Amino acid sequence: MTAIRIAWQLFWHQSKTGKNTLLLLTLFSLSFYLCLISLVGSSVQQHLAHNLNELLGADSLLVSDHALNEQQLQQVESFAAKLSATTMVSMTLTHKEKWQSAQIKGVDSNYPLAGRVRVAKAAVGEALRLSHGPRVGNIWLDSVLLSRLGITVGEQMIVAGKTLKVSGVLRFEPDRLIEGHTVKLRAMMAMNDFVEVSGQSEVKYRYLLKNDANQQQALSQWIEQNQPQWQLVSSALGSHPLAAIWLRIEKFIGLSAILLFVLGAITLDLTSNRLLKAQQHFFAVCMSAGMLRTGVIQASLWLFVLTLLATLVPAALLAVVVEKNAVAAMQQFFPAIVSNWQLGELLGVSALCLLLFVVNQLPAWLALWRVSITDLLSETSLSVSKRLLRTVFPLLGLLVLVGYYSDNWRLTVLVLLVIGFGILLLMFFSWLVIVPGERLARNKSGLLSFALYMMRQRLVVKSAQIMGIGLSLILVILCLRMTDDFTQMFDKITLDRDGDLLITKATEKQHKDLLSWATKTGSKAMGFSPFVLSRLVAVNNKPLLQHTSGPSGSLSELSNGVHLTWNQTLPSNNQLIKGKWKGQWDRAAKQGLQQLSVEDEVAVDIGLNVGDQLSFNVGGATHDFTVGAIHQFKAGASAMTFWFVLMGEKPATLGAPSNYMGSIKVSDGGWDSVGQLWQTHPTLQMMPLKIVKQKLKQFTNTGVAIVLLFNVFITLMSLLVLLASVQGFAEDDRKRNGLILSFGLSRRHCLYVIGFEWLITALIASFGALFGTLLAGELLYQEQFGMDYKPQWLWLILTTLSATGGIAALGIWLCRGSLKVSVTDLLNERVEVA
Amino acid sequence: MTKNADKSPLNITLDNVGHGFSLTDGSEIKLFSDVSMQIKAHQVTSIMGHSGSGKSTLLAIIAGLHQPNQGQVSYQLQSGQTLNTEQFRQRSGFVFQHFHLLNELDTLNNVALPLRLRGDKNAFDIAADWLDKVGLAARSKQPVNRLSGGEQQRVAIARAFAAEPDVVFADEPTGSLDEMTADKVFEVMFRCSEQNGNALVLVTHNEELSRQATQQFRLSHGKLEVVA
């Protein structure tokens, strides 16, 4: 009982005097963040995974040119929990006098595996969300097909000699995106009917699979060894763009959690250092008053328990409450999201926090166990072995805990490498600035030389402060960079700045009619670009297949034909990363070939560079151009980018007629007359994107919310690091300022000294962080996100300078307490215990 | 930051000074009242009294760190110029009971500190000189936390006198030291004061040492009595 009473007495005293406030705040914040992240993360991840399933319709998709036989089906089913077979054929549908080419999908009774099919009873009106495809004897047509064939729901039509009832208007297929964007008109029927109608046509066999990442990996390997002609599109393996983005979000969550963990550990170390010393002093006094060593250790353990009760427990409870409210608030934006976490997750993360705190506390307990009263009471500095113990323990503990927490050892090792390198860099910078600076100023007088001298004397402890701040800064800058890059990435896929009716091919006449239709219906035409269909046939006079060394995604697209566009100026959604844009190309005035710009990923994929000569086949004739620039997508405008953009006007020699590509933001009333537009121009290729856009928006909004949330957490945690590093020196600074005042100098002079110190600290931390961020970007971007890290120097330097100013200002502001000291405080000073 | 050029001696006059403080329940505790005294240049003044008698508060009032509730303190140069508190503080120094040396600095740097802060280019030479005067020239490169208590207080004395203040205030300068060490420290302090030609105002419990002062006061029952 004595141990509990003493622990309570010490805890109460520390709380009342505010000595443990920062420690409690750190423990509370870290526990709260980690608990909240686990809980919200669990709900959001399930929501996003569900959303992704809604978008992809399955975990993976296997595509084959032939139907799988029984044995093959069994093999594939062994890698999946569920399988749905679908088939696809292009054929011409007729009704009365009308005909229309369309893509017909046959689906089995398992379809869809994820998400819902949306089917309406009429061209206009609400759609039902169904978990099955059409019944035998039924067919669903999309609204445009319905309109073009002049048929209504309830009527019958004959498809390849079989009579089918049109029983619905097909609005949305959950597996549509996994197939990639296509503008073909769609129809869906039951698999049994499909077998009868497909006949001799070229059929694509597509098998939707419900399987986890391990099964997908195993299936991928099996296909590679046994059926290399099959194609596997997998969410876990990131072969679909959306799935790849989802993987990046998951990795970002993992990384941010590790960063939070590391920041928490730094804050804990900075905060608890002084407090533990005071506690040891208190316990030494107890021991000198006759308390047994075991009693003292018991008291220390009880003090730890009290600290946990005041931090971890309320933090976990608060996280539960906040998660419920946050999810409820999120439902306004993401109606399908539900609070969905398990008690085990909460207990797991709480246990992890507990372990982190234990690791932090362990050296203090060991010290109590081993040292004598005189050791505890003496003011001597820590011995090397004790200092090692104090440093190695938290580091080792951190390594194990972070690895366990993140479940991604590779990422953990990379982050720790970044941190290790950051520490070395910051130590080097500290030494580089402070030591020679102090040498230069040693024989000079004045406040700056005094500040440098003090920093030199405090180099070891000062380095810890600089490292804490510098590391936080590396992480904050890295997170800001990632937020920017992720937002751009989301921007690219949301089609946010494009209309909801995508026009992939319109002739000159159709284009004009579209524009006048848009004006008439109050709709808005967005970013139409002219193009001709072309095929890249040679690079530097070498056939394309000889130019590229291996198979590539771009290559198959290129051989099928690509859109070749032209523009006087660089399109607003592009930015050049190599070469120059020469819009005023004039064949008469210039020698050589007209230049074009190639999209970065294509250039990398098939190995193109500025100066290469490309030969395109357009309308049967070959045209040569030179690569003058490489461009890439830039957020803020349309998501539609062309792989090849001719600089300048359309060459007169390109005889092929121009087509147009773009989109229209259709007004509410406009949707009713889309069918009419199609009837007037049956060959117009367009595709409504409304539902797809809504879902993409929902997906990316969640992603942005996650990235921002983590940024806020990391910034707040960094502020705590700063606060802890200030508090660690508060007593020393107060004494120093008191002395300066006792020498007859004013508070203004104390402020100058603090200002110089913080400016030097901020400069070292910021510039160390600048280089640390570069390394972190190089290591983490490619390895974890599959993204190229391209440092934006201006942005980095501006961020570094702002950070320097911000940290210096914040440091000075936080240190203002040490200015409140007076000479009388020094006169009246009494030795304090704990 | 440079010291006032007027080097004429300084006198401090207390005229009917009284001070006290209020408790949280609103009641007032009076420490002392009607204190009148004069501290002249080159004089050593000692103030004795029991714990809680208010002698440290009186020292803070004389040093211009506190404003008294009653009466006034004036600082006047013999040239006739009157100094305000800020000007006076630039001409004064302190020796604390707990030394308040900066552990980060070695002995020499602790002594040179006030001079360096004032921008004195000869700070280290002057500091070395003063370390010699207090008998610690050989320890100039040592960290101060390796010195004994008496040595640390001698460093603090050297630091206070190195800036050549007109007045040095010392609050229980030997309070943390044993009797023999306290004697030595007092001896050093008196000698420094004499060599420097400045006034020394010290608060102490030690009657024997107090007797060495030019003028001696005792604060008792709220009144300041002249002992000698």
pLDDT tens for residues A260-317?
Answer: 777 777 777 777 766 777 777 777 777 777 777 788 888 888 988 999 999 999 999 9
Partner residue facing A743 (CB), from B86, B105, B114: B114
Whether A739 sits inside 8 A of B121 (CB atoms) is no
A161 conformational bin, left if phi > 0, alpha if psi -120 to 50, beta if neither: left
Mean pLDDT of all residues in A79-99: 83
Q: 3-state DSSP call for residue B16?
A: strand
Share of chain A above pLDDT 70, in %: 77
CA distance A94 to A104: 13
| Residue with the two structure tokens 């005229």 | B15
Q: 3-state DSSP call for residue A357?
A: helix
Say how far residue B58 (Cα) sits from the centre of its chain: 12
Distance from CA of A275 to the nearest CA of B (A): 20
Chosen for mutation from A379, A442, A445 (greatest number of chain B CBs closer than 10 Å) is A445
For A15, A374, A477, the CA distances from A6, given in Å and listed in that order, are 14, 20, 45
Mean pLDDT of all residues in A741-758: 86
Distance from CA of B118 to the nearest CA of A (A): 6
The more confident residue out of A575 and B200 is B200
Does A479 have pLDDT greater than 80?
A: no
Interchain contact A620–B (C-beta under 8 A): no
Contact of A821 with A737, CB cutoff 8 Å: yes
Chain A residues close to B92, C-beta within 8 Å = 744
Chosen for mutation from B113, B117, B141 (greatest number of chain A CBs closer than 10 Å) is B117
CA distance A147 to A98: 10
The more confident residue out of A505 and A386 is A505
Question: What pLDDT, on the 0 to 100 scale, is given for residue B2?
Answer: 41
Q: Counting Cβ atoms within 10 Å, is residue A661 exposed (0-12), middle (13-18) or buried (19+)?
A: buried
Report chain B's mean pLDDT, rounded to a whole number.
Answer: 84
**Taking Cα atoms as reference points, which of A2, A1, A12 lies closest to residue A306?**
A12
Partner residue facing A447 (CB), from B89, B105, B117: B117
Question: What pLDDT, on the 0 to 100 scale, is given for residue A503?
Answer: 82
| Chain B CA closest to residue A749 | B117
Residue A221 neighbours by CB distance under 10 Å: 11
Contact of A490 with A787, CB cutoff 8 Å: no
- Beta-sheet strands, E only, within A364-467: none
| Chain B CA closest to residue A381 | B145
Q: pLDDT band for position A627 (50/70/90)? A: very high
Taking only residues 38 to 57 of chain A, the set having a beta carbon closer than 8 angstroms to any beta carbon of chain B reads: none
Whether A827 sits inside 8 A of B116 (CB atoms) is no
Does A118 have pLDDT greater than 80?
A: yes
Distance from CA of A248 to the nearest CA of B (A): 48
Chain A residues close to B165, C-beta within 8 Å = 744
Whether A744 sits inside 8 A of B115 (CB atoms) is no
Residues in B lying within 8 Å of A, measured between beta carbons = 1, 56, 59-60, 63, 65-66, 86, 89-94, 96-98, 100, 102, 104-105, 109, 113-121, 123-124, 145, 163, 165, 171
Distance from CA of A445 to the nearest CA of B (A): 4
Report chain A's mean pLDDT, rounded to a whole number.
Answer: 78
Q: pLDDT band for position B4 (50/70/90)? A: very low
Chosen for mutation from A453, A743, A831 (greatest number of chain B CBs closer than 10 Å) is A743
Does A332 have pLDDT greater than 70?
A: no
Q: 3-state DSSP call for residue A525?
A: strand
Residue A157's contacts (CB-CB under 8 Å, 6 or more residues apart) are A93, A94, A95, A139, A149, A151, A163, A164, A166
pTM over 0.80: no
Give the burial string for A227-264 (b: 16+ CB within 10 Å, else e): beebebbbbbbebbebbbbbbbbbbbbbbbbbbbbbbb
Chain B residues close to A738, C-beta within 8 Å = 100
* Size of the A and B interface in Cβ pairs below 8 Å: 87
Does A553 have pLDDT greater than 60?
A: no
| Chain A CA closest to residue B161 | A743
Q: pLDDT band for position A318 (50/70/90)? A: very high
**Taking Cα atoms as reference points, which of A418, A419, A333 lies closest to residue A706?**
A333
Polymer length of chain B: 228
**Taking Cα atoms as reference points, which of A691, A650, A653, A654 lies closest to residue A671?**
A691
Please compute, for residue A736, the number of CA atoms within 13 A of its CA located in the half-sphere on the CB side: 29
Per-position DSSP letters for A594-638, written without gaps between them: PEEEEEHHHHHHHT--TT-EEEEEETTEEEEEEEEEEEEE-TTS-
Does A480 have pLDDT greater than 90?
A: no
Whether B118 sits inside 8 A of A453 (CB atoms) is no
Q: pLDDT band for position A423 (50/70/90)? A: confident
Question: What pLDDT, on the 0 to 100 scale, is given for residue B86?
Answer: 83
Residue B110 neighbours by CB distance under 10 Å: 28
Chain A residues close to B89, C-beta within 8 Å = 744
Mean pLDDT of all residues in A784-811: 80
Sign of CA dihedral A300, A382, A763, A815: positive
Say how far residue B162 (Cα) sits from the centre of its chain: 13
CA distance B65 to B169: 11
Does A755 have pLDDT greater than 50?
A: yes
**Taking Cα atoms as reference points, which of A312, A311, A270 lies closest to residue A471?**
A270
**Taking Cα atoms as reference points, which of A109, A148, A722, A775 lies closest to residue A473?**
A722
Does A456 have pLDDT greater than 90?
A: no
Record the tokens describing residue A429, joined without a space.
């910078």
Model pLDDT for residues A363-390, shown as the tens digit of each residue: 777 777 766 666 555 555 555 556 566 6
Model pLDDT for residues A196-238, shown as the tens digit of each residue: 665 555 678 889 888 887 888 888 888 878 887 787 777 665 5
The more confident residue out of A400 and A737 is A737
- Beta-sheet strands, E only, within A513-553: 524-539, 542-543
Torsions phi, psi for A79 (to 5 deg): -105, 10
What are residue A542's DSSP bridge partners? Answer: A539
Record the tokens describing residue A171, joined without a space.
């609005």
Which range is most confident: A153-167, A187-201, A279-293, A420-434? Answer: A153-167
CA distance A482 to A259: 13
For A302, A392, B67, the CA distances from A359, given in Å and listed in that order, are 16, 10, 51
Does A782 have pLDDT greater than 80?
A: no
Question: What pLDDT, on the 0 to 100 scale, is given for residue A626?
Answer: 92
Torsions phi, psi for A55 (to 5 deg): -85, -35
DSSP B106: B
Question: What pLDDT, on the 0 to 100 scale, is given for residue A11?
Answer: 87
CA distance B161 to B191: 11
- Beta-sheet strands, E only, within A96-155: 98-107, 117-120, 127-130, 138-142
Interchain contact A746–B (C-beta under 8 A): yes
Does A780 have pLDDT greater than 80?
A: no
CA distance A134 to A500: 27
| Chain B CA closest to residue A741 | B89
Interchain contact A751–B (C-beta under 8 A): no
Mean pLDDT of all residues in A389-395: 64
Distance from CA of B186 to the nearest CA of A (A): 18
For A145, A506, A673, the CA distances from A514, given in Å and listed in that order, are 19, 9, 12
**Taking Cα atoms as reference points, which of B84, B93, B139, B144 lies closest to residue B114?**
B93
CA distance A787 to A769: 21
Whether B116 sits inside 8 A of A740 (CB atoms) is no
Q: pLDDT band for position A832 (50/70/90)? A: very low
The more confident residue out of B213 and A232 is B213
Helices (H), ranges, B98-214: 107-117, 123-133, 149-162, 179-196, 207-210
Mean pLDDT of all residues in B159-175: 86
Question: What pLDDT, on the 0 to 100 scale, is given for residue B15?
Answer: 92
Residue A828's contacts (CB-CB under 8 Å, 6 or more residues apart) are B56
Interchain contact A459–B (C-beta under 8 A): no
Q: pLDDT band for position A588 (50/70/90)? A: very low
**Taking Cα atoms as reference points, which of A490, A434, A495, A507 lies closest to residue A465?**
A434
Mean pLDDT of all residues in A438-446: 74
Model pLDDT for residues A809-824, shown as the tens digit of each residue: 988 888 887 777 777 7
Record the tokens describing residue A130, joined without a space.
């169904």
Whether A454 sits inside 8 A of B163 (CB atoms) is no
The more confident residue out of A451 and A176 is A451
Question: What pLDDT, on the 0 to 100 scale, is given for residue B74?
Answer: 92
Interchain contact A832–B (C-beta under 8 A): no
Question: What pLDDT, on the 0 to 100 scale, is given for residue A197?
Answer: 62
Q: pLDDT band for position A138 (50/70/90)? A: very high
Q: pLDDT band for position A494 (50/70/90)? A: low
Question: What pLDDT, on the 0 to 100 scale, is given for residue A827?
Answer: 66
Question: What pLDDT, on the 0 to 100 scale, is given for residue B205?
Answer: 82
| Chain A CA closest to residue B172 | A827
Residue A617 neighbours by CB distance under 10 Å: 15
Residue type at A269 in one-letter notation: D
Torsions phi, psi for A290 (to 5 deg): 105, 0
Residue A440's contacts (CB-CB under 8 Å, 6 or more residues apart) are none
Give the burial string for B19-40 (b: 16+ CB within 10 Å, else e): bbeeeeeeeeeebbbebebebe
Share of chain B above pLDDT 70, in %: 96
Peptide bond into B165 cis (omega under 30): no
CA distance A161 to A517: 38
Question: What pLDDT, on the 0 to 100 scale, is given for residue A310?
Answer: 92
Residue A784's contacts (CB-CB under 8 Å, 6 or more residues apart) are A248, A251, A255, A410, A411, A414
Residue A227's contacts (CB-CB under 8 Å, 6 or more residues apart) are A64, A72
Model pLDDT for residues A631-682, shown as the tens digit of each residue: 887 766 676 778 899 998 888 888 778 889 888 888 877 877 776 777 677 6
CA distance B212 to B228: 10
Does A56 have pLDDT greater than 80?
A: no
Say how far residue A82 (Cα) sits from the centre of its chain: 30
Chosen for mutation from A379, A742, A745, A830 (greatest number of chain B CBs closer than 10 Å) is A742
Record the tokens describing residue A449, joined without a space.
């030389």
Q: pLDDT band for position A584 (50/70/90)? A: low
Record the tokens describing residue A701, joined without a space.
């909004």
Whether B118 sits inside 8 A of A443 (CB atoms) is no
**Rounded to 5°, angle at Cα A252 from A247 and A256:** 155
Question: What pLDDT, on the 0 to 100 scale, is given for residue B89?
Answer: 84
Chain A residues close to B163, C-beta within 8 Å = 743-744
Which range is most confident: A48-62, A311-325, A409-423, A701-715? Answer: A311-325
